[in-house]
Structure 1
Amino acid sequence: MPSDRAPRAARYRVYGMSQSYFTRKLTGYLDYKAIPYLLRRFANANRSAREAGWPGAMPVVMTPGGEYMWDTSAMIHHLESRFPEPGVFPADPVLRFIDYILEDALDEWFYRAAVGSRWFYEENHRVGGWELARDATHEMQIPCDQAYAGVKAHVTATCEPFGVTGANIDSWIDEILRPWLRVTGAHLTSHRYFFGARPSLADFAFFGGNAAHFINDPLCRRCVDSDAPAIVAHTHRIMEPEDKEFGDWIASGEVPETLIAILAELGRFYLPWVSAAAENGKAELAFANGQRIEIAVTPFLAEARATLLARYVEFRSDALDEILERAGIRSYFSDYADRAGKIPSYDKPPQPALNRPFGPPWETERAAQ
């Protein structure tokens, strides 16, 4: 283990679940950084966290000093200020902004396919859904069958607000998820992580969905094994980092075509939708097979979009615009630069008020996936 990853004495307490997209994003980061923590199985019944203002999205973390914080993106920024080595943000501004683009899409887009694939395919929810319900009983103290039936009924009834239904889940898998797996898998065949020989913020966001859902749930795992086996290896590298060696970022200005292809893939569905939805409050998603669904943007996503645009303004350069143009996505940033918000401060343990689940507390998949 490199000396800059030596264990620290202070322990963080992570309230979440091993089947949770965002819990695994955070614990993957903590494991890599060798920041000591305890994972506590949790079904959103922490009264002291709610009294601190926590709005309900999993995970929530108690610091060694007894403060609560939440929102994985904000928490990682905060922890980087406290434990800067080994850093997870590329120093090169072009790579840094690409890192933010990928993390944004992974957090706000691909978790939708994760939720839908778990709960609209019986084979998946018989495994991932049961595991989730089983861990919820640690806190809820009810029979596991009851927890399983309850969370399944609620989540499948509340997926439509974020665009996923039993009728369109096949389209999400075939037109959005599997193409994404293929382009990321192709890149990871020749690169251990998104930006070279060490993981970045986007790698942990990618790991979260894979470890909790796409490598865990049977139907999705078979898709990954078939389409992009390099993703399995990437997941395992982050899952157990102790005996791994880490190197440098890719050279400044040497963005490979496989990474350009990943950005271009985001230009097919996510960036057109989020650009229009953040502008108008909602936008239509149209699949190639003719299915259509209108999806409203949440206040949290609208704020995240404004923050990403602020980062574009901060890092904008001819070199960055050239990369975005090669990928066919520059307009989704340059045409909206005047909508940029403010970049938050991460000096204190973050407690963003808008980071809340789609529905009532523990049962919502965004909160308890």
Structure 2
Amino acid sequence: MYPGEYQLVGSEMSFFTRKLEAQLRCQQVPWRYLFKTEQRKAELEARAGTHFIPLLLTPDKWLIQDTIAIGPMLSQRFRARGVVPETPLQRTCCYILEDAFNHWLGRVCVHSRWCYPDNVAWIGPRFGANLMLDRSIEEPFSEAELEQFAPIGPMMYEGFGKGVCEVNGAGPDQAAAVQGDFRNMLDALAVHFANNDFLLGERPCLADFALAGASKAHFICDPEPKSWLGEHSAMLHEYTGRFFSDWQGELVPWPAHDRVPDSLQIVLDYLQGSYYQSAPANIAAGLAGEKYYEFDYGFGTTRARTQKRLNLARLHVQDELQRLGAGENADIQALFASRGILQHYMA
């Protein structure tokens, strides 16, 4: 591993950019932002072979994409502050929860950002700060800048936001369902975080960065989802704030004897009724060559576009579970088997 500074290429308004930022901060990796500006866009995309963000430029001159791959790599490189447990049950929970939050939270992110005109108007100048001015959204805007960047939000809605909401089954007609599901998630997290700082206890793992990234880029950032937080506002702000302030001292050890918090079952109950109603149907339809699939996560039938990437992520988790011997591990079986979650990955 070459010493030196890592450069995070992306946008502060991006779920997955913030996810990776949370990990870099937690592991105390030397890093800085390199915003994906209009001036840098063509060169970066040509080199990376993708238009997706984030990208991570390493001191070894690698330019890599996909937080699912970057996360374990950084955990191993900076293993003194590793964020992937080694014991079977904790490691299983880490990878399963990361997969679920990676792919389920995106529906709330795109819906809350793009389906409400006032929110669309607000986010435009924030995208403009990173894309056009090469500066953080934390810097104040002048009146002239707010006026200059006012068209960006509506333009992005027409070119991107509207379509991505439709293909994810999260358009304006799904407002009650998306908001209801979001409340269910907050209720579950509130019970868990009442006695735990992070998902696996007192040490953060890969899955925490997904949840914190979505929260920082969307849920406690955009005005619309902020208005949905209600009694859980302080909880989510405090949780997210742990990742985006200076980390002091060493990380505590993982819980002894491969334990996970009892309240994690409440989070899994929520995911069992939401993401794991969607993902198996999504993957089955995609493998059958269907472009769309239907599922019900407690709010009536939802129709969405199949995603090939979802099965690739499932196989990534499957590889970890097979290596851990999850099918024969009594603790893993006790927590997951009756939920259908383990079967989803091992099939």
Q: In the aligned structure 2, how far is the partner of 1:293 from the partner of 1:284?
A: 5
Structure 1 residues 211 and 202: alpha-carbon distance in aligned structure 2, compared to 1, 3 A threshold: same
Give the aligned residue type for 1:128: I
Q: In the aligned structure 1, how far is the partner of 2:3 from the partner of 2:306?
A: 41
Partner of 1:166: 172
1:318 aligns with 2:330: yes
Partner of 1:79: 74
The DSSP-based 3-state class of the residue aligned with 1:114 is helix
Q: In the aligned structure 2, how far is the partner of 1:43 from the partner of 1:11?
A: 20
The DSSP-based 3-state class of the residue aligned with 1:80 is helix
Give the aligned residue type for 2:117: E
Give the aligned residue type for 2:54: P
Structure 1 residues 147 and 194: alpha-carbon distance in aligned structure 2, compared to 1, 3 A threshold: same
Shift of 1:212: 0.6
Determine if contact 2:15/2:218 at 8 Å carries over to the other structure.
yes
Give the TM-score of the pair, scaled to structure 1: 0.81
Partner of 1:284: 294
Shift of 1:253: 4.8
Give the aligned residue type for 1:168: Q
The DSSP-based 3-state class of the residue aligned with 1:167 is helix
1:127 aligns with 2:137: no
- 1:209-261 Cα offsets, whole Å, 9 max, x none, are 01111011223224335235322111111111333663232333543331001
The DSSP-based 3-state class of the residue aligned with 2:243 is helix
1:68 aligns with 2:51: no
User: Which of residues 5, 8, 18 in structure 2 aligns to 1:11?
Assistant: 5
Shift of 1:170: 2.7
Give the aligned residue type for 1:314: R
Partner of 2:289: none
Structure 1 residues 154 and 336: alpha-carbon distance in aligned structure 2, compared to 1, 3 A threshold: same
Determine if contact 1:100/1:308 at 8 Å carries over to the other structure.
yes
Q: In the aligned structure 2, how far is the partner of 1:131 from the partner of 1:170?
A: 27
Give the aligned residue type for 2:167: P
Determine if contact 2:282/2:307 at 8 Å carries over to the other structure.
no
Partner of 1:337: 346
Q: In the aligned structure 2, how far is the partner of 1:70 from the partner of 1:242?
A: 25
Give the aligned residue type for 1:104: D
Q: In the aligned structure 2, how far is the partner of 1:222 from the partner of 1:78?
A: 36
Equivalent positions of 1:1-369 (< 5 A) are 10-43=4-37, 45-138=40-133, 143-158=148-163, 159-174=165-180, 176-227=181-232, 229-243=234-248, 246-281=251-286, 282-286=292-296, 288-290=298-300, 292-315=301-324, 316=326, 317-325=329-337, 328-329=338-339, 331-334=340-343, 337-338=346-347
Determine if contact 2:83/2:204 at 8 Å carries over to the other structure.
yes
Q: In the aligned structure 2, how far is the partner of 1:129 from the partner of 1:199?
A: 32
Q: In the aligned structure 1, how far is the partner of 2:224 from the partner of 2:194?
A: 22
- 1:269-309 Cα offsets, whole Å, 9 max, x none, are 2112211221221531225443x332233221121112222
Q: In the aligned structure 2, how far is the partner of 1:228 from the partner of 1:262?
A: 18
Q: In the aligned structure 1, how far is the partner of 2:169 from the partner of 2:321?
A: 27
Determine if contact 1:134/1:147 at 8 Å carries over to the other structure.
no
Shift of 1:41: 2.0
The DSSP-based 3-state class of the residue aligned with 1:190 is coil
Determine if contact 1:129/1:152 at 8 Å carries over to the other structure.
no
Shift of 1:43: 4.5
Determine if contact 1:105/1:266 at 8 Å carries over to the other structure.
yes
Query: Alignment identity in percent?
Result: 24
Give the aligned residue type for 1:296: R
Shift of 1:11: 0.9
Q: In the aligned structure 2, how far is the partner of 1:215 from the partner of 1:185?
A: 15
Using CA pairs under 8 Å that are at least 6 residues apart, name the structure with larger relative contact order, 1 or 2. Answer: 1
- Structure with more helix by fraction: 2
Shift of 1:50: 2.5
Q: In the aligned structure 2, how far is the partner of 1:284 from the partner of 1:193?
A: 33
Q: In the aligned structure 1, how far is the partner of 2:266 from the partner of 2:159?
A: 37
Q: In the aligned structure 1, how far is the partner of 2:318 from the partner of 2:53?
A: 25
Structure 1 residues 163 and 289: alpha-carbon distance in aligned structure 2, compared to 1, 3 A threshold: closer
Give the aligned residue type for 1:164: A
Shift of 1:143: 4.0
- 1:179-204 Cα offsets, whole Å, 9 max, x none, are 11111122111111111222111111
Determine if contact 1:69/1:75 at 8 Å carries over to the other structure.
yes
The DSSP-based 3-state class of the residue aligned with 1:199 is coil
Determine if contact 2:16/2:67 at 8 Å carries over to the other structure.
yes
Give the aligned residue type for 2:6: Y
Determine if contact 2:110/2:161 at 8 Å carries over to the other structure.
no
The DSSP-based 3-state class of the residue aligned with 1:27 is helix
**Alignment: residue pair count:** 325
Deviates more, 1:247-256 or 1:271-280: 247-256
Could you tell me which runs of 5 or more consecutive residues in structure 1 were left unpaired when the two chains were aligned.
1-7, 339-369
Q: In the aligned structure 2, how far is the partner of 1:26 from the partner of 1:248?
A: 22
